[in-house]
Amino acid sequence: MTSPTIDPISAFSSYLMLHLKRSSNTVSAYVSDLQQLETQLDASVLELKSQDIRHFLSLLAEQNVNARSRSRKLSALRAFFKFASLNGWVEQNPVAEIETPKLAKKLPKTLGLSWVNQLLQAPDLNHAFGVRDRAMLELLYATGLRVSELVGLKVSEMRLEAGFLLITGKGNKQRVVPFGEQAGSWLKRYIFQARPELVVGRKNDWVFLNRFGVAMTRQAFWQLIKKYALQIGVPRNQISPHVLRHCFATHLLDNGADLRSIQMMLGHADLSTTQIYTAISRARLRQVVSDHHPLERH
């Protein structure tokens, strides 16, 4: 083991900026975290052992520092001791066996049914693009498709009369996704009335076409949703294509659908991924009680 000839934190800072090309904000945060640790424990960072770092993280938890901030500080330590090991300044990495604090899962954003209805009705149906947009919104809410699956949908993958789609999702896995009568009627109106107006030049198999007659991009559809959200008064940061996917799942769950069926339609590989929606329903129920129970109202 060798001793550094310069301040190890300063050397680490230069390494982050010059070799790893980290942003100035990241470098500043990491340096601040290391200096805080030295101040808190009254010791050089190179002298620290695993028990010292665990003690430091415990102190932060007692001070109500949230898991995300504690996790970032641990990331700073991991990066520093990796750098120190490369330079031969430490024999053992004291953070190697320290687990990252578990972060609480954020509940997905959703919209109430009234907002969803207004969003679905926002497109102008006097032109082909409006009919296309209405069909896309209806299908997204009716099926919970990922936006990439929606814009990548092909005519050959639709079974309009039978009421289902053949979707190839993550991991190249195919699943059958049903849709209801309302989404089906808008799909038919678009396919048979509006889509022929959007075909430019050689025909293709993409369902939803842009003004150039090719498949719409994910970014373009994202902008469409933002436009319609602004039109009906939904804050821009509350809406995205994925929010409609969340609405599909939570509204089904609220109305009695079972998790396993929702999992299959969403294309989740693991049921635990789908279970986040039960937390949304519980949160909504708690809010109902808080808003309407006579002993809770102020």
pLDDT in tens, 183-198: 999 999 999 999 999 9
- pLDDT value at position 293? 38
Q: Is 189 a catalytic residue?
A: no
What is the signed CA dihedral for 177, 181, 182, 186, rounded to 10 degrees? 80
Q: Is 68 a catalytic residue?
A: no
Out of 78, 226, 242, 284, which one is annotated catalytic? 242
Q: Where are the domains of the chain?
A: 8-86, 113-292
Out of 70, 73, 132, 245, which one is annotated catalytic? 245
Is residue 110's pLDDT more than 80?
A: no
Q: Is 228 a catalytic residue?
A: no
The domain defined by 8-86 carries CATH number 1.10.150.130:
yes
Q: Is 298 a catalytic residue?
A: no
Q: Is pLDDT larger for residue 221 or for residue 65? A: 221
Out of 134, 195, 251, 268, which one is annotated catalytic? 268
Out of 73, 134, 146, 195, which one is annotated catalytic? 146
In terms of average pLDDT, the best of 142-156, 185-199, 202-216, 230-244 is: 185-199
DSSP 8-state symbol, 168: E
| Residue whose tokens read 């699956």 | 149
Distance CA 142, CA 133 (A): 14
Q: What is the DSSP string of 54-93?
A: HHHHHHHHHTT--HHHHHHHHHHHHHHHHHHHHTT--SS-
Q: Which fold has domain 113-292?
A: hpI Integrase; Chain A (1.10.443)
pLDDT digits (tens, 9 = 90+) for 267-289: 776 666 566 666 555 544 444 43
Out of 30, 141, 228, 277, which one is annotated catalytic? 277
Distance CA 109, CA 167 (A): 24
Q: Is 102 a catalytic residue?
A: no
Do the domains 8-86 and 113-292 sit in the same CATH topology, yes or no?
no
Q: Is 170 a catalytic residue?
A: yes
